[in-house]
């Protein structure tokens, strides 16, 4: 469930980052953490088994063949310019937010543009500063037009080799196909299992997370389902 109360706090922080607002955000983070074990236990049975569908040795080759719908210059700009700047700064700016969202998907553009710049930057600051992995993803998902896939992009680029990008292609490469063309339901439990799985694969394959992400996307592009409308 998306934390609406946390969204309201981040919105308020974007307008006026007072100590009281910061304390309220910390309290909301603590509440999410307190509920995490119960939610994880309840959802555990619904998490599918995740297993890479191709040999580890193929990761570099698949990554090299990776061709996304947006040209490679856009990705290079994100990887080599925007992401390092955001990590140094501690947040992605509103313009960087729009640019990266457009790289990931154009379908949510009208919703993405409804977010206020100050709210976006406050959410990004929280995502790149909190120690809670749960809040890192939840606070990004509280933004309009941002769900699991887009939120994971900012963690992928905002942290070095900690987070994969989650979408139907990456999940398909781990043995979770879409059913009847319907989107895969992503829960917090699935997200956490997916992150652990990708970290383990990257470690065993001795590759960085960007290389693994590109390889999984490309494997699905060549062997799996077609892009949803």
pLDDT for the residue 21: 46
pLDDT for the residue 37: 47
Specify the pTM: 0.83
CA-to-CA distance for 78 and 99, rounded, in angstroms? 9
pLDDT for the residue 225: 62
Q: What are 81-111's pLDDT values in tens digits?
A: 999 999 999 999 999 999 999 999 888 888 9
Dihedrals phi, psi of 182, to nearest 5 degrees: -85, 150
Question: Residue ranges of the domains in the chain?
Answer: 4-223
pLDDT for the residue 58: 98
Q: Quick one: which of 135, 137, 149, 127 has its CA closest to 35?
A: 135
User: pLDDT tens, position by position, for the chain (229 residues)?
Assistant: 344 555 555 555 444 444 444 455 555 555 555 454 444 444 445 789 999 999 999 999 999 999 887 778 899 999 999 999 999 999 999 999 999 999 998 888 889 999 999 999 999 999 999 999 999 999 999 999 999 999 999 999 999 999 999 999 999 999 998 777 677 889 999 999 999 999 999 999 999 999 999 999 999 999 976 565 4
**Alpha helices, H only, the chain:** 4-15, 19-43, 59-65, 72-77, 83-89, 94-104, 109-112, 117-127, 133-141, 148-158, 168-173, 188-205, 209-223
């Amino acid at each position: 469930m998306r934390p609406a109360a946390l969204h309201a706090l981040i919105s308020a922080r974007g307008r006026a980052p007072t100590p009281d607002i910061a304390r309220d955000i910390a309290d909301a983070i603590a509440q999410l953490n307190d509920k995490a074990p119960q939610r994880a236990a309840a959802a555990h049975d619904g998490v599918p088994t995740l297993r890479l569908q191709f040999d580890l040795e193929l990761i570099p080759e698949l990554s090299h063949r990776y061709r996304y719908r947006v040209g490679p210059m856009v990705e290079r700009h994100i990887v080599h310019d925007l992401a390092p700047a955001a990590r140094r700064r501690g947040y992605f700016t509103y313009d960087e937010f729009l640019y990266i969202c457009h790289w990931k998907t154009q379908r949510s553009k009208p919703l993405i543009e409804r977010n206020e710049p100050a709210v976006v930057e406050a959410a990004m600051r929280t995502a790149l500063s909190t120690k809670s992995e749960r809040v890192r993803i939840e606070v990004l998902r509280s933004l309009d037009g941002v769900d699991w896939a887009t939120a994971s992009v900012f963690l992928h680029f905002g942290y070095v080799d900690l987070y994969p990008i989650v979408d139907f292609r990456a999940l398909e490469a781990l043995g979770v196909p879409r059913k009847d063309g319907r989107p895969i339901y992503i829960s917090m439990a699935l997200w956490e299992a997916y992150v652990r799985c990708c970290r383990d694969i990257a470690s065993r394959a001795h590759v960085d997370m960007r290389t693994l992400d590109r390889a999984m996307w490309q494997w699905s592009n060549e062997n799996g389902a077609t892009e949803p409308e």
